[in-house]
């Protein structure tokens, strides 16, 4: 074996190994990304690898026969030919991707891309006939260049030269388009791509025309491939970081939306709590850090999350909540399952429903009362008439006066029932109203109940804190009915022999204020919330409509009633009525 033969083999093997580096990088890019840009870059590096393999075959004279060298050279020459349309595709990709480059579509479009691709196919076909490559000649050793073959091109090689010029033009077109894009990461990558392409083209053309050793282009291709590989993954890393930042921002926004949601939200991974919103933490009066990472049972021990019907929950302050729960299973690419519980607080809805029911009850009671009153008053009028006739015919004063007085009282009670059932009757009552002096009526009511209070060892105190006597437009019987009902409730709330009821009257702006204060048992919070509902009472023999009627009478006279109470300490009922001059 000759020393020259051994050297030629080593040069061929070394250049082929160098040529494989861009191909390996090409496959690496394609393995990690399947985007259109990654595919185009992979093709570019693949063509660059074939181009260098094409150069390596010219050093294989001691390894391969001339026939095989010729065949491989013509096949691998496609690398230098097909780089041209790939460079144009990069510009085409940018124009399609960025709306700000829309105005350049007249120059960079699919039609031109297909034309360039067809042209390179023609150049590649010419490459396989003598019209493109006629033969090969031998180039002897020089100072920095070992001996190798050089192709002798035919007349058709002019098509290849035009392809090279188009390659340069497409590279500078890409440089121009790169200056117009706004994305910094894209711009940095394409600047690297253009720089590498110009370096490869210039070095390849110079070595092809024997200005510099032919194999120099192989080493420059390694440098260019590494630059592109690093640039591509820098761009990908920048975009991934930007996407991660956007995802983080969206996650923070979603978490903020979740926390301002008034509904109660709980997310679980299996049986572990991974997210709770602020509304649920506020309901449970617990911090989210006390719940995250804990088992589901740590919440269900406090509050039921059954989804079949509204669940009642009593918080630490004693407030009652009605919550309607829902449940949804979420799958994440078969990697895990999340369960989200969402609860809607329907406490206000429940309260409104109860108010509607109470209103309907009161309406029915009113209608029934009005109907009964109307039916009773008709025969009662006839009875009173006959008694009046009997009285006129009799000279003796006896039971007739008593009967007439009692019948008149029954008529008054029936009038009250009509007022409850027929609001239009109130107008007539007001027309009959006289100026009532509240303090005088309070004195009369005190005298009325004084004996009962003394019998039960209780005390009634009346305080007048007015600066001057006040008058209100409210029928005396209505005013008495309200005060008697309130005073009676206060006396009943005080255990026998252990308390007192204080009635205080004073003036406040254009109204008179009457407060009835007792030191009785007080009213619990649940009853206090429902005190105005008809038929709701804690008394064994009560009917639950006393305060409802009183409140109605006050409202019809532009008055108000407020109740404050604390269980075990007592109750204060405040009544306000507008004064008249």
Residues 113 and 105 sit within 8 Å (Cβ to Cβ): no
CATH-assigned architecture of domain 3-242: Up-down Bundle (1.20)
- What is the number of other CB atoms lying within 10 angstroms of the CB of residue 266? 22
Note the maximum CA span of the chain.
Answer: 170
Separation CA 179–CA 522 (nearest Å):
82
Token pair recorded at residue 486: 């309130």
Domain coordinates in residue numbering, the chain: 3-242, 261-345, 350-431, 435-580
pTM beyond 0.85: no
Separation CA 576–CA 505 (nearest Å):
10
What is the per-residue pLDDT for 149?
Answer: 85
DSSP per position, 54-93? HHHHTT-TTTS-HHHHHHHHHHHTHHHHHHHHHHHHHHHH
Whether CATH 3.30.450.20 fits 261-345: yes
What are the tens digits of pLDDT across the range 415-469?
666 555 555 444 444 444 445 678 888 888 887 778 778 878 888 888 888 877 7
Closest CA to 568 of 514, 513, 521, 517: 521
CATH-assigned architecture of domain 435-580: 2-Layer Sandwich (3.30)
Pick one of 3.40.50.970, 3.40.50.2300, 1.10.287.130, 3.30.230.70 as the CATH number of 350-431: 1.10.287.130
At 131, give phi and psi (nearest 5°). -65, -25
What is the per-residue pLDDT for 121?
Answer: 96
Per-residue pLDDT of the chain (581 residues; tens, 9 = 90+): 343 444 457 778 888 888 898 999 899 988 888 889 999 999 999 998 998 898 889 888 888 888 999 999 999 999 989 999 999 999 999 999 888 898 999 999 999 999 999 999 999 999 999 998 998 888 776 656 677 788 899 999 999 999 999 999 999 999 999 999 988 888 889 998 998 888 888 877 666 555 566 666 677 788 888 888 888 888 888 888 888 888 888 878 887 888 788 888 888 887 888 888 888 888 888 887 778 888 877 877 778 778 777 888 888 777 788 888 888 887 766 656 788 888 888 877 777 777 776 666 666 666 666 666 656 665 666 676 667 666 666 665 555 666 666 666 566 666 666 555 555 444 444 444 445 678 888 888 887 778 778 878 888 888 888 877 778 878 777 788 788 888 888 888 888 767 888 888 888 778 888 899 988 888 887 777 777 666 556 565 555 566 777 787 788 788 888 888 888 888 899 988 888 76
- What is the number of other CB atoms lying within 10 angstroms of the CB of residue 341? 20
Separation CA 571–CA 562 (nearest Å):
11
What is the per-residue pLDDT for 90?
Answer: 94
What is the per-residue pLDDT for 242?
Answer: 82
Q: What are the Cα distances from residue 175, in Å, to 79, 190, 192, 194, 195?
A: 22, 8, 10, 6, 9
Closest CA to 46 of 100, 88, 82: 82
Q: What is the DSSP letter of 295?
A: B
Separation CA 147–CA 141 (nearest Å):
4
Q: Tell me the sheet residues that pair with 505.
A: 464, 514
Q: Helix-strand-coil percent breakdown of the chain, rounded to 5?
A: 60, 15, 25
Separation CA 222–CA 228 (nearest Å):
10
- Beta-carbon contacts of 201 under 8 Å, excluding residues fewer than 6 positions away, are 164, 167, 168, 171
């Amino acid at each position: 074996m000759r020393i020259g033969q051994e050297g030629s083999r080593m040069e061929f093997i070394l250049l082929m190994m160098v040529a494989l580096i861009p191909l390996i990088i090409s496959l690496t890019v394609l393995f990690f990304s399947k985007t259109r840009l990654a595919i185009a870059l992979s093709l570019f590096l693949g063509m660059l690898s074939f181009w260098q393999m094409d150069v390596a075959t010219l050093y294989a004279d001691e390894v391969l026969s001339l026939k095989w060298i010729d065949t491989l050279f013509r096949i691998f020459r496609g690398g230098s030919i097909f780089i041209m349309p790939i460079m144009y595709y990069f510009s085409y990709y940018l124009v399609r991707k960025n709306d700000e480059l829309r105005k350049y579509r007249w120059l960079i479009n699919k039609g031109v891309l297909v034309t360039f691709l067809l042209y390179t196919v023609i150049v590649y076909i010419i490459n396989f006939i003598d019209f493109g490559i006629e033969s090969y000649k031998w180039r002897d050793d020089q100072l920095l260049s070992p001996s190798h073959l050089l192709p002798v091109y035919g007349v058709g090689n002019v098509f290849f030269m035009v392809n090279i010029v188009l390659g340069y033009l497409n590279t500078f077109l890409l440089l121009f388009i790169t200056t117009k894009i706004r994305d910094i990461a894209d711009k940095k990558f394409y600047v690297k791509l253009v720089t590498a392409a110009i370096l490869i083209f210039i070095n390849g053309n110079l070595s092809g025309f024997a200005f510099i050793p032919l194999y120099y282009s192989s080493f420059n291709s390694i440098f260019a491939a590494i630059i592109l590989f690093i640039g591509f993954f820098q761009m990908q890393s920048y975009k991934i970081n930007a996407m991660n930042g956007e995802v983080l921002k969206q996650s923070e926004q979603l978490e903020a939306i979740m926390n301002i949601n008034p509904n109660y939200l709980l997310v679980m991974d299996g049986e572990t709590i991974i997210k709770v919103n602020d509304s649920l933490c506020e309901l449970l009066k617990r911090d989210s850090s006390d719940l995250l990472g804990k088992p589901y049972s740590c919440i269900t021990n406090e509050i039921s999350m059954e989804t079949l019907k509204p669940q009642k929950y009593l918080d630490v302050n004693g407030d009652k909540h009605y919550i309607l729960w829902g449940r949804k299973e979420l799958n994440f690419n078969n990697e895990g399952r999340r369960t989200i519980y969402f609860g809607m607080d329907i406490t206000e809805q429940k309260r409104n429903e109860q108010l509607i029911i109470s209103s309907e009850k009161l309406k029915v009671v009113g209608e029934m009362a009005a109907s009964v009153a109307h039916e009773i008053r008709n025969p009662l009028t006839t009875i009173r008439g006959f008694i009046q006739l009997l009285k006129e015919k009799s000279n003796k004063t006896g039971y007739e006066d008593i009967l007439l007085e009692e019948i008149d009282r029954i008529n008054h009670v029936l009038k009250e029932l009509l007022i409850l059932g027929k609001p239009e009757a109130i107008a007539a009552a007001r027309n009959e109203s006289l100026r009532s002096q509240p303090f005088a009526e309070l004195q009369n009511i005190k005298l009325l109940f004084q004996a009962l209070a003394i019998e039960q060892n209780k005390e009634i105190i009346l305080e007048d804190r007015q600066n001057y006597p006040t008058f209100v437009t409210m029928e005396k019987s209505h005013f008495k009915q309200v005060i008697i009902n309130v005073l009676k409730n206060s006396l009943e709330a005080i255990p026998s022999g252990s308390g007192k009821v204080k009635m205080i009257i004073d003036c406040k702006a254009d109204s008179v204020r009457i407060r009835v204060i007792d030191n009785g048992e007080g009213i619990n919070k649940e009853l206090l919330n429902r005190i105005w509902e008809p038929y709701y009472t804690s008394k064994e023999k009560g009917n639950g409509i006393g305060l409802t009627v009183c409140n109605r009478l006050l409202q019809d006279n532009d008055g108000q009633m407020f109740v404050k109470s604390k269980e075990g300490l007592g109750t204060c009922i405040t009544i306000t009525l507008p004064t008249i001059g």
